A and B are shown apart, each in its own frame.
Chain A
Amino acid sequence: MTLLSRPPLPKSLSVDIWTAPFWEAAQRYELVVCRCVVCGRRRMPPSPFCPNCQSQTILWDVLPGTGRVYSYTIVYQPAIAANAAPVPYAPAVIALDGAPGIRCISAIVDCDETRLVIDMPVRVVWQALADGHLTAFFTPI
């Protein structure tokens, strides 16, 4: 049994007017994605134009905060000393329930490394960063 560690956390995150609502929702423990009001296409990360119809008008959908592991890696050696963190940790791409085709890049936490497989159902857990942002990790359901 080897419990996966939390990944090395950035001290702060850069935000602009288009991404800010995502991080503000996280402060309310809400996982959200942006949706084009004109054509209904969702996109992540949020950006100034809809790549389908070029509209700038968006809404934010609150998702259930569950999903499935689309892919993952298990890091056993940190890439750089400055980024040293307890290993192993497991960056993963999560296919989000309630937003077909939309994925978020995250990490699997509170999970034994041998349990981690593609398609495993997961739910969000919130992790605080040093700058006060909350970010979404996922754990097995």
Chain B
Amino acid sequence: MKPRAAIVGVGATSFYRRGASEPRPLLELVGEAILRALTDAGLSVSDIDGFAYFAGGFDTPSIMEMLGVPGITFTAALTGYGGGSAGCIGLAASAIAAGDARTIVCVGATQQSRRRFGAVAAQYEGTPQSAFHEHAGLVSPGQMFALLARRHMHEFGTTREHFAMVALNARANAQTNSEAAMHGRPMTREDYFAAPMIADPHCLFDFCLENDGAVATVVTSVERARDLRQQPVQVLGAVHGGARDWGRAIYWMNMPDGCFARSGHSALAAELYGRAGIGPADLDVAQIYDHFTSQVLIQLEDYGLCAKGEGGPFVASGAIARGGALPVNTDGGQLSCGFIWGMTHVREAVLQLRHTAANQIAGAELALVTGGPSSLPVSGLILGRAP
């Protein structure tokens, strides 16, 4: 399909350690990221005429009032949680293709001083459905995804050595990215195995960071993008959703055999590649949602970047390193750069395709970005450097 939309601006706040953005309010972080993305694009607040979010999003009129956005003709959010982070770019691209708006801001932000993501499930009000997992002491995503990781180890022989490779790759990339929260804090294999176990088989370094911050992108039409300041990065394909067999996933745990130790992305991958008109072998770089190391290698399988069950050996081979066949999470990812609920992955893909990333992959033309695994929707995005 012919690309209709392009990302023309990206902006981010610092990636603060959890709580360190206080006393700045969360909406201020959102505003700062949006203004930086507009500056990056060479646009002003009066150019914004739409907002697209995920996970319920932010209060659009408050942002308009705060920044002086004169008027909009589109504001919408994907349902669900972090699984929509890549998909919100697709939501914006669809709106632009449909003529609903011309210049749409997508933004994600976290401020975990008030609500730690690790305890998020414990803070939802109990429902008749959640009663079936609450009684088991399962309150954090890190515990829930550990059940999937353990099953993957059982079915495929995946080991903690494999998880360590994902963590070490992310940390190595952070050492040469001065923006990364873990810049200047290298990690060895010995450090990994000396870390406290949190929810077996997930140790401390299998968990993503806890950060405050915001990341915004500006999406407009492919035609308009040509006249703006930056090398355009086109939205070649985007998809969000998933299969009923995955469904609520970690809150359900009744995914059929063959779907349990997976990421929920396998039902979408073929659709995404079809929309983009490319295959997995065409990708130059991938930004894979890394709330937990185990879920990175399962996504690599589900997106056909290696065979099912081969995620462990694939990462152990060095394939995901900067010199490897498919560099993954080149900025350090959520494990070592910053956790802004997936939006850092969109930004890093854009910088790679502009050829301005801190850890630039030479000649990168095509990038994959994923959102989730999580309760549906999960999402995928393929971006391309505009010719």
A residues neighboring B (CB under 8 Å)? 7-10, 12-16, 18-19, 43-45, 47, 51, 70-77, 79-80, 82-83, 85, 89, 91-93, 101-107, 118, 127, 129, 135
Contacts and interface: CB of A to CB of B under 8 A. Distances in A.
Interface stretch (B85-93, B131-139, B222-230, B275-283): B131-139
Interface string B63-101: 000000000000000000000000000000000000000
B116 A74 contact: no
A102 B119 contact: no
A74 to B, nearest CB: 4
A132 B144 CA distance: 26
Interface string B239-278: 0000010000000011011001100000000000000000
Contacts of B244: 51
> Residue among A19, A72, A80, A118 with the most chain B CB within 10 A?
A80
A82 B261 CA distance: 30
B83 to A, nearest CB: 20
Contact of B126 (A14, A47, A85, A102): A14
B327 interface: no
Nearest to A135: B135
Interface string B104-145: 000000000000101100100111111111111111101100
B309 to A, nearest CB: 16
**3 pairs of A and B residues whose beta carbons are closest in the complex:** A7-B137, A79-B140, A73-B146
How large, as a class, is the contact surface on chain B?
Answer: 35 or more
Interface of B: 116, 118-119, 122, 125-140, 142-143, 146-148, 150-151, 154, 196-202, 244, 253-254, 256-257, 260-261
Contacts of B142: 79
Nearest to A70: B151
B253 A105 contact: yes
Contacts of B146: 73
A75 B260 CA distance: 20
B147 A71 contact: yes
Contacts of A93: 147, 253
A16 B132 CA distance: 12
Contacts of B135: 7, 9-10, 13, 106-107, 127, 129, 135
Contact of A80 (B139, B200, B256): B139
A76 B151 contact: no
